[in-house]
Amino acid sequence: MGLLQGKVTIITGASRGLGKALAGRFACEGSSVVLAGRSYNLLKDVCREIHPPDGEAYPVRMDVTDPGSVNAAIHEIVERYGKIDVLINNAGIPMVSPSEDLAYENWKNTIDTNLTGVFLCSQAVAKQMMDRKTAGCIINISSTFGLSPVPQRAAYCSSKAAVDMLTKVLAAEWADKKIRVNAIAPGYLKTEFIGQLEQQGKLDIESLKKRIPQRRIGHPDEITGLAVYMAGDEATYLTGAVVYIDGGWTAYGFT
Ligand SMILES: NC(=O)c1ccc[n+]([C@@H]2O[C@H](COP(=O)([O-])OP(=O)(O)OC[C@H]3O[C@@H](n4cnc5c(N)ncnc54)[C@H](O)[C@@H]3O)[C@@H](O)[C@H]2O)c1
């Protein structure tokens, strides 16, 4: 019997990386998983790879920056399942640029995706939970960069710091509606996200490893267990928390 038996979980940005790993793990724990993102055909393929012991893996088209797209997707999911138990706001983009050269469009796209997308999805899902008077759980995927200021990441760091604050505000506001809101802030993870930055010469993995006490980059599968705990029935008193999983990155204080 899985820890999330009978639940319905939406994961945004689930076509690859951490989102895909979360979808696979939540399915293993007995949840139906809705994989939401912009590339419907890709999501369909990923759903075919997931074999939930119970429930199903279902793809839904959603651009988290577009309120119309978010609301249509949430409507479709509620029509299909009659409820939503868990939302994981995972979709996100990196942005590395000297601040003096950061184009307005790139600043806006980063904030729209990483922050406004989290708000729009949370708002749409919370309304459904409130209408049905059901308890629910929202998990925001933040980053250690919401805490650590890093040069050339003005938009990314700002977006993730704001996600941490949004997590706490919504947790405080919706606690009496039995909606818990928490964030997971990973350090560097082995996904296409950092693979692309490395290819573009914007990231030096070897020097990064020297800054991490565990001297290695994390794997998405090292994040999913905490998300299962946060979504599960043992975490009923956990809300408003931002939990770092980073190989010791944020604990380390020496240069
Ligand atoms: N990889 C890391 O080192 C790392 C570290 C800390 C935090 N994070 C965070 O983890 C989350 C997942 O990152 P990842 O490493 O799996 O990245 P990834 O690039 O592999 O996956 C991101 C996913 O988000 C989707 N996405 C982007 N914009 C979207 C939009 N407008 N609407 C819907 N979907 C959209 C992409 O298509 C992709 O499927 C992000 O929020 C990221 O900021 C990643």
Q: Tens of pLDDT along 20-65?
A: 999 999 999 999 999 999 999 999 999 999 988 888 999 999 999 9
Name residues of the chain where pLDDT drops below 50.
none
Query: For residue 199, what are the β-bridge partners?
Result: none
For ligand 1, the distance from its centroid to the CA atom of residue 85, given in whole angstroms, is 22
What atom in ligand 1 is closest to the CA of residue 66? 31
Residue nearest to atom 37 of ligand 1 (CA): 13
For ligand 1, the distance from its centroid to the CA atom of residue 191, given in whole angstroms, is 9
CA nearest 114: which of 71, 72, 168, 153? 153
Q: Which of 156, 188, 229, 252 is catalytic?
A: 156
- Tell me the residue length of the chain: 255
Q: In what order do the strands lie in the sheet with 32-37?
A: 57-61, 32-37, 8-12, 86-89, 136-141, 179-186, 242-245
For ligand 1, the distance from its centroid to the CA atom of residue 196, given in whole angstroms, is 12
What atom in ligand 1 is closest to the CA of residue 64? 32
Per-residue model confidence (pLDDT) at position 193:
87
pTM: 0.98
CB 228 within 8 A of CB 4: yes
Per-residue model confidence (pLDDT) at position 165:
98
Residue nearest to atom 5 of ligand 1 (CA): 188
Residue list, ligand 1 pocket, CB within 6 Å = 12-13, 15-19, 37-38, 62-65, 90-93, 113, 117, 141, 143, 186, 188-189, 191-194
Active site residue 156: yes
For ligand 1, the distance from its centroid to the CA atom of residue 16, given in whole angstroms, is 8
Number of Cβ within 10 Å of residue 188's Cβ equals 23
Per-residue model confidence (pLDDT) at position 255:
62
For ligand 1, the distance from its centroid to the CA atom of residue 159, given in whole angstroms, is 13
What atom in ligand 1 is closest to the CA of residue 15? 39
Name the 3-class secondary structure at 233. coil
CATH class, 8-245 region: alpha beta
